[in-house]
C-alpha cells in the first residue's frame, strides 16, 4: 500500500511491532461503514464515477459478509484492518478499489472507525447501567422499609432502610449514565475528510459523510481531528468512575455475604465453591467486579500516558489506544452484567439486618434529638447526656431501650416514658423524613422520581 519509495520490505520484527490487525479487526464493520459513506460522497461530488462507487460499495458488503462468516483471511503484512479490507476489495472488484482512498488518509479513517466503535460502547454502557439501576430499584421497592444498620467508618452509625441503601447506588450509577451520555454528545463529530492532517483539495462534502454515519457534524479542525483521542479517554474515565462504584458495591456484597454479617445470601448462580472446603460459598463474582477497576483505571492511565507529549498531528503511538479501550469496554460490560445478575438474585436476610441495626446504640442520635425536642436541651448538652446513657448501658451490657426510666432520670431528670418511642429502629428510620432521607416515605419518593426519569 505504501511500497512505492521502498526497495526492501520490512524486517519481521518491524512487521510485528507495526501491525495492529491482531486487535483492530474489531473495527471491521465500522471501517466498512465509513468507506461506504466516503465512496458515496465521492461519487455525489463527481470525484469518482457512480459506477465505481457502486462497485466499491457492493464489494465492501461482500467483504463484510466474508468477515462475518469467519471466512476472511487477515494478513499481518497488510498491517491493519483498513489495508486488509481495501486489499480484499481490490481482489474482488479490481481497479475501482484503488479510487476509494481518494481524499482520505488512514489517519482520518482510523479516527472515524474508532469513534464509531467507542460511540457504540458508550450506548452499551448506558443500557448496562440502566439494567443495573432497574435491578437496584426492584430491591429498593421490596425493602423500602426493611431496617438495617447504616455505617460510617464501618462502625454502626444510625439505622437506615434497605431501600435507601439501594437507592444510594441508583444515584451513583445514574450519574455514571449521565456522564456516558454527556461524553457521547461531545464526541459525536466526524473526523472523516480531515485526510492526513491538512484536509484535502478535492471538493468533498464532509457534512454528507458525517450525517451518513450518524454524527452531528464534521469536526471543525482537521489537525485536531486526526490527533484527538479525547473520546477514548472520556470513555475510559467514565468507565473508571463506574468501575469504582461497582467496586464499592462489590466490597459491600463481599462483607454482607460473610458468615459474620449474613446480611444477604447471594444466589448459587453467582457464587462458587471451594475445592477443599465443602461448606464454602464464595462471592467470586463480587470479588472480580471489585478488581475490574484496576484494569479499567489502568487503561485510562495508560492511554493518558500514550497521548501526553505527542506533538500534532497523528503519531503511530496512537495505535496503542485501541487495546486499552477494547479491554476496558469488555470488562466494564461484563462487570455490569454480573452485578445486575447478582443484585437481581440476592436475598436480604431481614432478621439479621434488623438485629444488626438495633445493636451498637444505633438510636443514640434519636435519644439526643428527643432531649432537644421534648426537654428543650441545647443539642450539645443533649449529646453529652446521651453519651453518659450509652456509657451506662455499655457498662451494664445492655442496649439503650433496656435502661429503666429510673436509670435514665438519674442522668437527666427531664427524661420521661415517651423517650422509649424513639429508641426503636423502626421509629428511628420513620422519623427521618427530610428530603432524601432514609424514611420509607422518602425512599418511595426516590423510587418514584427514578421511575419517571427512566420512563
Ligand atoms: N493502524 C493505525 C492505527 O491504528 C492506522 C493509522 C495509520 N496511519 C499511519 N499514518 N500510519 O493508528
3-class SS string, 162-176: HHHHHHHHHHHHHHH
Confidence of residue 276 (pLDDT cuts 50, 70, 90): confident
- Domain boundary, last residue among 316, 341, 356: 356
- ipTM higher than 0.90? yes
Same domain, residue pair 322 and 369: no
Residue 162: what pLDDT? 98
Q: What local confidence, expressed as pLDDT, does residue 354 receive? A: 96
DSSP character string of 43-104: HHTTSS-HHHHHHHHHHHHHHHHHHHTT-----GGG-SHHHHHHHHHHHHH-GGGGGTTTT-
Query: Ligand 1: does its nearest atom lie under 6 Å from the Cβ of 348?
Result: no
For residues 58 and 172, state if they share a domain. Answer: no
**What's the pLDDT score for residue 279?**
80
451 CA distance to ligand 1 centroid (A)? Answer: 45
Nearest CA, atom 12, ligand 1 = 319
Exposed, middle or buried by CB within 10 Å (0-12, 13-18, 19+), for 402?
Answer: exposed
318 C-beta closer than 6 A to ligand 1: yes
| Residue whose CB lies within 8 A of the most ligand 1 atoms, among 106, 303, 320, for a mutation test | 106
**What is the rounded average pLDDT of the residues 205-218?**
98
Residue 80 Cβ < 6 Å to ligand 1: yes
- For residue 79, the ligand 1 atom closest to its alpha carbon is 1
* Residue 203 DSSP label: -
Q: Report the distance separating Cα 195 and Cα 109, nearest Å.
A: 8
Residue among 9, 31, 35 at smallest CA distance from 20: 31
Same domain? For 247 and 388 the reply is: no
- Please give the number of the atom of ligand 1 that sits closest to the Cα of 318: 12
Question: What per-residue confidence (pLDDT) applies to 196?
Answer: 98
**For residues 286 and 232, what is the distance between their CA atoms, to the nearest angstrom?**
27
pLDDT in tens, 94-117: 999 999 999 999 999 999 999 999
| 77, pLDDT greater than 80 | yes
Give yes or no: residues 306 and 180 share one domain.
yes
For the chain, report the end-to-end CA distance as a whole number of angstroms: 51
**80 in any annotated domain:** yes
Unique residue bearing C-alpha cell 460502547: 121
In a domain, 151, yes or no: yes
CA atoms in the 13 A half-sphere facing the CB of 11: 3
CA angle 78, 1, 79 (to 5 degrees): 20
The pLDDT score that the predictor gives to residue 274 is 77
Helices 106-142 + 440-454 axis angle, to 10 = 150
Domain shared by 264 and 325, yes or no:
yes
Do 300 and 430 lie in one domain? The reply is no
20 lines ligand 1 (CB under 6 A): yes
Give the pLDDT band (50/70/90) at residue 5: confident
Report whether residue 112 contacts ligand 1, using a CB cutoff of 6 Å. no
The answer, yes or no, to whether residue 8 has pLDDT greater than 90, is no
Instruction: State pLDDT tens for residues 249-266.
Output: 999 999 999 999 999 999
Helices (H) and strands (E) in the chain, counts: 18, 6
Per the domain annotation, does 267 fall within a domain?
yes
Residues 152 and 225 grouped into a single domain: yes
pLDDT above 80: residue 302: yes
Q: Is the CB of 106 under 6 A from ligand 1?
A: yes
Q: Does ligand 1 come within 6 angstroms of the Cβ of 319?
A: yes
> What's the 307 CA to ligand 1 centre distance in angstroms?
15
Reported as type and span, the H/E element at residue 141 is helix 106-142
pTM of the model: 0.94
Distance separating alpha carbons of residues 82 and 90, to the nearest angstrom: 12
Q: What are phi and psi of 433, to 5 degrees?
A: -95, 10
Q: Whose CA is nearest to atom 1 of ligand 1?
A: 80
pLDDT classification of 3: cutoffs 50, 70, 90:
confident
Whether residue 155 sits in one domain with residue 144: yes
Domain around 369:
359-454
Residue 338 lies in a domain: yes
409, 415 Cβ separation under 8 angstroms: yes
- What's the whole-number average pLDDT of the chain? 96
| 387 and 316 within one domain | no
Q: 314 alpha carbon to ligand 1 midpoint, in Å? A: 8
- pLDDT, residue 447, reads 98
Residue 160: CB atoms within 10 Å? 26
Please, where are the H alpha helices in 257-348? 284-307, 321-345
Q: Can you read off the three cell numbers belonging to residue 162?
A: 434497605
Q: Which residue has the higher pLDDT, 281 or 60?
A: 60
Q: Is residue 209 part of a domain?
A: no
Give the end of a domain, one of 43, 67, 102: 102
Count CA within 13 A, CB hemisphere, residue 141.
Answer: 12
Cell of 316: 503511530
Structural domain ending residue among the three candidates 102, 128, 163: 102
Residue 319 CA, ligand 1 centroid: distance in Å:
6
Alpha helices in 308-439 (DSSP H): 321-345, 350-358, 364-375, 379-396, 405-411, 425-431
Cβ–Cβ < 8 Å for 401, 364: no
pLDDT band at 6 (very low <50, low <70, confident <90, very high): confident
Integer Cα distance of 247 and 270 in angstroms:
16
> Residue 141 pLDDT > 80, yes or no?
yes
In a domain, 206, yes or no: no
The predicted-structure confidence for 380-427, as pLDDT tens digits, reads as follows 999 999 999 999 999 999 989 999 999 999 999 999 999 999 999 999
For the cut 90, the answer to whether the pLDDT of residue 280 exceeds it is no
**169-208 pLDDT tens trace:** 999 999 999 999 999 999 999 999 999 999 999 999 999 9
Percent of the chain with pLDDT over 90: 93
pLDDT tens for each residue of 366-384: 999 999 999 999 999 999 9
Return the biggest CA–CA distance within the chain: 102
In the annotation, is 274 catalytic? yes
Q: Say if residues 165 and 158 touch (Cβ distance below 8 Å).
A: no
CATH number at residue 92: 1.10.275.10
**294 within domain boundaries:** yes
322 Cα nearest atom in ligand 1 = 4
Count the domains in the chain.
Answer: 3
Could you read off the pLDDT of 430-452 as tens digits, one per residue? 999 999 999 999 999 999 999 99
Task: Look up the CATH number of the domain holding residue 268.
Answer: 1.20.200.10
pLDDT reported for residue 142: 98
148 shares its domain with 20: no
Q: Which of 65, 274, 359, 441 is catalytic?
A: 274
Mutation probe of ligand 1 site: the residue of 107, 225, 226, 312 with most atoms within 8 A of C-beta: 107
Instruction: Determine whether 153 is an active site residue.
Output: yes
pLDDT at residue 2 is higher than 80? no
Residues 367 and 287 in one domain: no
The count of other CB atoms within 10 Å of the CB of residue 46 is 10
Q: Is 397 exposed, middle or buried (0-12, 13-18, 19+ CB in 10 A)?
A: exposed
Tell me if 428 CB under 6 Å of ligand 1. no
Answer yes or no: is the C-beta of 110 below 6 A from any ligand 1 atom: yes
Average pLDDT over residues 308-325: 98
Which amino acid residue places its CA nearest to atom 7 of ligand 1? 106
Q: What is the pLDDT of residue 154?
A: 93
Amino acid at each position: 500500500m505504501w511500497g512505492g519509495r521502498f526497495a526492501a520490505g520490512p524486517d519481521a520484527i518491524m512487521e510485528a511491532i507495526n501491525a495492529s490487525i491482531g486487535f483492530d479487526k474489531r473495527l471491521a464493520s465500522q471501517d466498512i461503514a465509513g468507506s461506504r459513506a466516503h465512496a458515496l460522497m465521492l461519487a455525489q461530488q463527481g470525484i469518482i464515477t457512480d459506477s465505481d462507487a457502486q462497485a466499491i460499495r457492493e464489494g465492501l458488503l461482500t467483504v463484510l459478509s466474508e468477515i462475518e462468516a469467519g471466512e476472511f483471511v487477515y494478513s499481518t503484512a497488510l498491517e491493519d484492518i483498513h489495508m486488509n479490507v481495501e486489499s480484499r476489495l481490490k481482489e474482488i472488484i479490481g481497479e475501482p478499489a484503488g479510487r476509494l482512498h481518494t481524499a482520505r488518509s488512514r489517519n482520518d479513517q482510523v479516527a472515524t472507525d474508532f469513534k464509531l466503535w467507542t460511540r457504540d460502547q458508550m450506548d452499551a454502557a448506558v443500557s448496562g447501567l440502566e439494567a443495573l439501576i432497574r435491578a437496584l430499584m426492584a430491591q429498593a421497592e421490596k425493602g423500602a422499609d426493611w431496617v438495617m444498620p447504616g455505617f460510617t467508618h464501618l462502625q454502626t452509625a444510625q439505622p437506615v432502610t434497605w431501600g435507601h441503601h439501594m437507592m444510594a447506588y441508583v444515584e451513583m450509577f445514574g450519574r455514571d449514565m449521565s456522564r456516558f451520555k454527556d461524553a457521547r454528545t461531545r464526541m459525536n463529530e466526524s473526523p472523516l475528510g480531515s485526510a492526513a492532517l491538512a484536509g484535502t483539495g478535492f471538493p468533498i462534502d464532509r457534512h454528507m459523510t458525517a450525517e451518513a454515519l450518524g454524527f452531528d457534524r464534521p469536526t471543525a479542525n482537521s489537525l485536531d481531528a486526526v490527533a484527538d483521542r479525547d473520546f477514548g479517554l472520556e470513555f475510559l474515565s467514565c468507565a473508571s468512575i463506574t468501575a469504582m462504584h461497582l467496586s464499592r458495591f462489590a466490597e459491600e456484597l463481599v462483607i454482607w455475604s460473610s458468615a459474620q454479617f449474613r446480611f444477604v445470601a447471594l444466589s448459587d448462580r453467582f457464587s462458587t465453591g471451594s475445592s477443599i472446603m465443602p461448606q464454602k460459598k464464595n462471592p467470586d463474582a463480587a470479588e472480580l467486579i471489585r478488581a475490574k477497576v484496576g484494569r479499567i483505571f489502568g487503561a485510562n492511565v495508560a492511554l493518558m500516558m500514550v497521548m501526553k507529549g505527542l506533538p500534532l498531528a497523528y503519531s503511530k503511538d496512537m495505535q496503542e489506544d485501541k487495546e486499552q479501550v477494547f479491554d476496558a469496554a469488555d470488562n466494564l460490560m461484563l462487570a455490569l452484567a454480573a452485578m445486575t445478575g447478582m443484585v437481581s438474585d440476592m436475598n436480604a436476610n431481614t432478621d439479621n439486618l434488623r438485629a444488626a441495626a438495633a445493636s451498637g446504640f444505633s438510636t443514640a442520635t434519636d435519644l439526643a434529638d428527643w432531649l432537644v425536642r421534648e426537654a428543650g436541651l441545647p443539642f450539645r448538652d443533649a449529646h453529652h447526656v446521651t453519651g453518659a446513657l450509652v456509657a451506662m448501658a455499655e457498662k451494664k451490657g445492655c442496649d439503650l431501650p433496656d435502661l429503666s426510666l429510673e436509670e435514665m432520670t438519674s442522668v437527666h431528670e427531664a427524661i420521661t416514658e415517651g423517650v422509649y418511642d424513639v429508641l426503636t429502629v423502626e421509629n428511628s428510620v420513620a422519623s427521618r423524613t427530610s428530603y432524601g432521607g432514609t424514611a420509607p416515605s422518602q425512599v418511595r419518593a426516590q423510587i418514584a422520581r427514578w421511575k419517571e426519569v427512566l420512563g
